Chain A
Amino acid sequence: MEISQVKTLIAISDRLKLLVLEVQELAILSFQAITGMFKRPRYLGDTMEQMDLLGVGSLAIVVLTGLFAGMAMALQLSVELAVYGAQIHLGKAVTVTIVREMGPVLTALMVAGRVCSGIAAELGAMKVGQQIDALRVMGVDPVKKLVIPRLLSVLVMLPVLTVISDAIATLGGYVIGVLVNHQSSPVYWSSVGQAFTFKNLLGGLIKPFVFGFIIAMVGCYYGLQTIGGTRGVGKATTHAVVTASILILVSNFLITKLVISLVGWRG
């Protein structure tokens, strides 16, 4: 084996070791956060503040995302449904797509871009400014004070934001189906109603909790691991958003597969 090949193998091995270490540390932080939720002290005030900052603050982008995703979906589907003369199913088609897949994933990705980066940047700046050490010196557990309020707030607010996004996307479908394509309003809403089945809602409501956990924990992990001054904060923020987005897409596939295995394909 040539020296260059050996060097490449060593580099790959080091990178894999680092990846395993990151997964291990993220798992430990997640475990500490989950077990810490049931222990005192509880920072209810901080949690409420984070709900406002992370949740309510994300409302505008989630509404816009839902509206335009729903409208684009309705435009595409109305063309395809017209081929089979099935335009009356537009509401159902839009709602199923949104509730099962697009709503949770798009909302999570938008919130990841805004919230995950925000968490990583804030905690990263605190880390490089020695504020995390200052907390520990004063006998305050950073996981309880910083991580758990953020985790709880995203776990509560992301499902709420997803439901809002789903509703707005359905309205977006209405705008295209009824106001542009002149479909009857009662037909559209009746078709939408058919999509609200247990199987459709199950996956759509499980996903935001999993995605919320990913967004909060990945943001906190990269924030607390930040080293190297302001440049380090930038790197932590980028890594957090990229990692969270990939994990959201991967876990979306796995949850979809799991739900289909458990309750079947058809809504």
Chain B
Amino acid sequence: MISLENVNFSFPDHENCEVLADIKFAVKQGETLVILGESGSGKTTILKIILGLLKPTSGKVFVDNQEITQLKEHELMKVRRKIGMVFQEGALFDSMTVGENVAFSLREQSAMSEPEVETRVHQVLSFVDMEESIDKVPDELSGGMRRRVAIARALASCDPKMMLYDEPTTGLDPITADTICDLIVKLRDTQEVSSVIVTHLLRDAFKVGNRFIVLHEGRILFEGTERELRSSTNPYIQKFVA
């Protein structure tokens, strides 16, 4: 569903400073890949490259068997509609209510009638157990509630087969983090959604992930299962997992 081949990336104004180097991995349908790494290791940059928000300096990115590296912005818009993205803080539109946030892409992109939009909004908000907050604005929501609305918004548009999560549980208390993890697992199990999750929280990563990548200074240091990760002899990984 998603694959990166020898992707390198550096910001245009800091060409000597490589953010990502020789990144390659693939995510199969229904699989959850967790990218682990400390802050500044390039995790979020990978998600932005998958979405086409950033263009890699070299290498290829495939989404749903389509190479997206050379696509123009209006062509990328079509690719992005296949992917749901949950941003770190939710990135909800703060001038809109929860219902309007979730309905946004349906009103913008789909040919649904208003009653159909309303039905869909209630459906996805009930999936994340946020139906009672439909008229609240983002400022009235807690961090966990925002992430749940962000998941609902990502789901609303097109029943995406691919979901990207940027630090979905960072800054949340353990109980709320568990709720978010349960949602991610529920999506994977009920709808066979392929997911890429970026996090530095091992506890949550092991709850949701099938496969793990450890990123260090922009390079993949490890790729494998939870058991392989725990038994790694690499000193950095041992320190990270400890």
Q: Interface residues, chain A, CB within 8 Å of chain B?
A: 41, 125-126, 129-131, 133-134, 136-141
What are 17 A-B pairs at a CB distance below 8 A? Answer: A41-B108, A125-B94, A131-B94, A133-B53, A133-B87, A134-B85, A134-B93, A136-B53, A136-B77, A137-B85, A138-B105, A138-B109, A139-B77, A140-B105, A140-B109, A141-B73, A141-B74
Contact A139 B109 (CB under 8 A): yes
Q: Which residues of A contact B157 (CB under 8 A)?
A: 138
Q: Interface residues, chain B, CB within 8 Å of chain A?
A: 48, 51, 53, 73-74, 77-78, 80-81, 83, 85, 87-89, 91-94, 104-105, 108-109, 157
> What is the distance, in angstroms, from B90's C-beta to the closest C-beta of chain A?
9
Contact B80 A137 (CB under 8 A): yes
Partner of A134, one of B48, B83, B87: B87
Contact B77 A141 (CB under 8 A): yes
> What is the distance, in angstroms, from B15's C-beta to the closest C-beta of chain A?
14
> What is the distance, in angstroms, from A132's C-beta to the closest C-beta of chain B?
9
In the complex, given contacts A136-B53, A138-B81, A141-B77, what are 18 additional A-B residue pairs having Cβ atoms less than 8 angstroms apart? A126-B93, A129-B94, A130-B91, A131-B91, A133-B48, A133-B87, A136-B77, A137-B53, A137-B80, A138-B108, A138-B157, A139-B78, A139-B105, A139-B109, A140-B77, A140-B108, A140-B109, A141-B73
Q: Which residues of A contact B73 (CB under 8 A)?
A: 141
Q: Which residues of A contact B88 (CB under 8 A)?
A: 130
Q: Which residues of B contact A131 (CB under 8 A)?
A: 91-94
Q: Which residues of B contact A137 (CB under 8 A)?
A: 51, 53, 80, 83, 85
Contact A139 B91 (CB under 8 A): no
Q: Which residues of B contact A140 (CB under 8 A)?
A: 77, 105, 108-109
Q: Which residues of B contact A133 (CB under 8 A)?
A: 48, 53, 87, 91
A to B contact number (C-beta, < 8 Å): 53
Q: How far is the CA of A137 from the CA of B237 in the complex (A)?
A: 33
Contact A138 B104 (CB under 8 A): yes
Q: Which residues of A contact B94 (CB under 8 A)?
A: 125, 129, 131
**Closest partner residue, chain B, to A18 (CB atom):** B13
Q: How far is the CA of A223 from the CA of B92 in the complex (A)?
A: 18
Q: Which residues of A contact B104 (CB under 8 A)?
A: 138
Contact B77 A129 (CB under 8 A): no
> What is the distance, in angstroms, from B5's C-beta to the closest C-beta of chain A?
22
Q: How far is the CA of A95 from the CA of B9 in the complex (A)?
A: 60
Partner of A130, one of B80, B89, B109: B89
Q: Which residues of A contact B91 (CB under 8 A)?
A: 129-131, 133-134
Q: Which residues of B contact A126 (CB under 8 A)?
A: 93
Contact A138 B80 (CB under 8 A): yes
**Closest partner residue, chain B, to A132 (CB atom):** B91
Contact A136 B89 (CB under 8 A): no
Q: Which residues of B contact A138 (CB under 8 A)?
A: 80-81, 104-105, 108-109, 157
**Closest partner residue, chain A, to B88 (CB atom):** A130
Q: How far is the CA of A131 from the CA of B81 in the complex (A)?
A: 16
Contact A130 B87 (CB under 8 A): yes
Q: How far is the CA of A133 from the CA of B92 in the complex (A)?
A: 11
**Closest partner residue, chain A, to B82 (CB atom):** A139
Q: Which residues of A contact B87 (CB under 8 A)?
A: 130, 133-134
Q: How far is the CA of A114 from the CA of B209 in the complex (A)?
A: 49
Q: Which residues of A contact B89 (CB under 8 A)?
A: 129-130
Q: How far is the CA of A137 from the CA of B83 in the complex (A)?
A: 8
Q: How far is the CA of A185 from the CA of B3 in the complex (A)?
A: 80
